[in-house]
Amino acid sequence: MKYIILLLFIQKCVSFDVPKSACKTDLTIDKDHYNVTKTYNVDDAYPTDAHYDSYGNLFFVEYGRNLNGYYFNIKVIKDNTTEAQNISGLPDGESYSIAVDRKETKVYFGTSKGIFVYKYESNEATLVSSPDFKLNMIFIDKDGNKYITDSPNDTEELYLLAGGKKIRYRSFEALNEMAIDEKNNFYYIKEDKLFVLKSNISKAIFIGNVSYEGFAQISFYEEIIYVASETLSYIHENDSGPLKLVKNIPGKVTAIAFDCYGNFILGTFGKIFKYEANNNECYHRKS
């Protein structure tokens, strides 16, 4: 009798997720399951600073080494194509930063020869600054404001661009990577640490430790911050840390970018993998 009651109790109160037999998933983040749906080749180079525009085109920087030394070239994988293409008009080997203006649906490139804008019709880039304008990285916030970093001396300076003028915004010692989220908060990596500079607070907040070996990308989807820096880690914007690690990544990751559906790419040496979510097919609820 006791035994039966206990069984009934279990039957009623316990429910758990059971993987369907033969269900495979390439990567899991919290409860979301993703499979690799496409793989793109990136010569013998590291993909970095990847960004989707509003049309599903993926722009990224290819960082590699040839007989002349290190080079940075910006390429595009157009929506529904399988090959990365060159963008004509950009300085060969010296094009190293990408920013998408979602408000104006424009894509900007930071290079050794100034700032360029992408021309969709002709797949070429045209200069929109003076050709001797110096910058390291370019960013655009949700309101369409442009920022650049430059290191005139030893420290990295962040400037706001306004009417062709550079307005000093903040100084960083040893800045490695930076990204601006949908709420205009600045997230950055400095000396293996992730910080945030909230739009309404002047002091930076330490979030957690991350590995950093020369390539990394910070990206956002909904309220989660992702850091691809060899490992892939993430944290909810309201959490205090530490960051959580994603298992089963395809190698040392150097790039991450989300499209507007929440699907994303991960970049590793020589390859870019597209992951798409599939939450309904893999698990079913058993009670």
Ligand X SMILES: *[C@@H]1O[C@H](CO)[C@@H](O)[C@H](O)[C@H]1NC(C)=O
Using CB under 6 A, pick the residue from 238, 285, 286, 287 that binds ligand X: 238
Q: What does the alpha-carbon distance between residue 279 and residue 285 come to, in Å, rounded to a whole number?
A: 12
Which of positions 18-37 make contact with ligand X (CB under 6 A)?
23-25, 33, 35
287 binds ligand X (CB under 6 A): no
Rounded (5°) CA angle 259-265-267: 145
86 binds ligand X (CB under 6 A): yes
Q: What does the alpha-carbon distance between residue 243 and residue 266 come to, in Å, rounded to a whole number?
A: 18
Applying CB under 6 A, the span of 6-14, 79-87, 137-145, 266-274 interacting with ligand X comes to: 79-87
Applying CB under 6 A, the span of 10-18, 139-147, 152-160, 252-260 interacting with ligand X comes to: 152-160
Q: What does the alpha-carbon distance between residue 3 and residue 6 come to, in Å, rounded to a whole number?
A: 5
54 binds ligand X (CB under 6 A): no
Cβ proximity to ligand X: between 103 and 236 the closer is 236
Cβ proximity to ligand X: between 166 and 252 the closer is 166
Q: What does the alpha-carbon distance between residue 208 and residue 182 come to, in Å, rounded to a whole number?
A: 21
Using CB under 6 A, pick the residue from 242, 251, 260, 284 that binds ligand X: 242
Applying CB under 6 A, the span of 8-16, 158-166, 196-204, 246-254 interacting with ligand X comes to: 196-204
Cβ proximity to ligand X: between 85 and 130 the closer is 85
Using CB under 6 A, pick the residue from 17, 44, 79, 213 that binds ligand X: 79
| Torsion sign over Cα 41, 45, 48, 51 | negative
* Contact (CB, 8 A) for 233 and 242: no
Instruction: Count other Cβ atoms within 10 Å, centred on residue 40.
Output: 20
170-178 contacts, C-beta under 8 A, 24 or more apart: 170/197, 175/149, 176/212, 176/216, 177/212, 177/216, 177/217, 177/218, 177/229, 178/137, 178/139, 178/149, 178/218
Applying CB under 6 A, the span of 96-104, 134-142, 234-242, 245-253 interacting with ligand X comes to: 234-242
Which of positions 90-109 make contact with ligand X (CB under 6 A)?
92
C-beta of 10: minimal distance to ligand X in Å? Answer: 29
Applying CB under 6 A, the span of 45-53, 132-140, 194-202, 214-222 interacting with ligand X comes to: 194-202
73 binds ligand X (CB under 6 A): yes
Minimal CA–CA distance to 138: which of 100, 103, 169, 186?
100
Cβ proximity to ligand X: between 2 and 286 the closer is 286
Give, for 8, the enclosing helix (H) or strand (E).
helix 2-13
Using CB under 6 A, pick the residue from 160, 204, 224, 282 that binds ligand X: 282
278 binds ligand X (CB under 6 A): yes
Q: Please give the radius of gyration of the chain, using alpha carbons only, rounded to the nearest integer.
A: 22
Mode of pairing for the β-strands spanning 186-190 and 175-180: antiparallel
Q: What does the alpha-carbon distance between residue 100 and residue 175 come to, in Å, rounded to a whole number?
A: 21
Binding site for ligand X (CB under 6 A): 23-25, 33, 35, 73, 79-80, 86, 92, 152-153, 157, 198, 200-201, 208-209, 223, 238, 241-242, 278, 281-282
